[in-house]
Amino acid sequence: MSNDKILAFTVSDMTCGHCAKTITGAVLDAYPAAKVEVDLATKRVSIENAGDRAAVASVIEAEGYFPVDA
């Protein structure tokens, strides 16, 4: 199930390029058609064309990070 709304999370424990890559990869594995944008400076992750907010948050949490609504 996908839709075209944009979800935005702040992930405070996303501290480096490796974290960004891990999170991006996990979201794309779950939602191959998604578009993921990461801004490390603001710890913000924007995700377009994925699942609902709770499901996408779960994917990020499964990697060991703690996304909060941004």
> Exactly one of 4, 18, 41, 69 binds Cu ion (CB under 5 A); which one?
18
> Exactly one of 2, 3, 12, 15 binds Cu ion (CB under 5 A); which one?
15
- Decide: helix, strand or coil at residue 32: coil
* Smaller CB separation from Cu ion, 38 or 51: 38
- Decide: helix, strand or coil at residue 1: coil
Min dist. Cβ of residue 56 to Cu ion (A): 19
Q: Does 41 bind Cu ion (CB under 5 A)?
A: no
User: Which residues are CB-contacts of 36 (< 8 A; sequence separation ≥ 6)?
Assistant: 23, 24, 27, 28, 45, 46, 47, 48
Residues near Cu ion (CB under 5 A): 15-16, 18-19
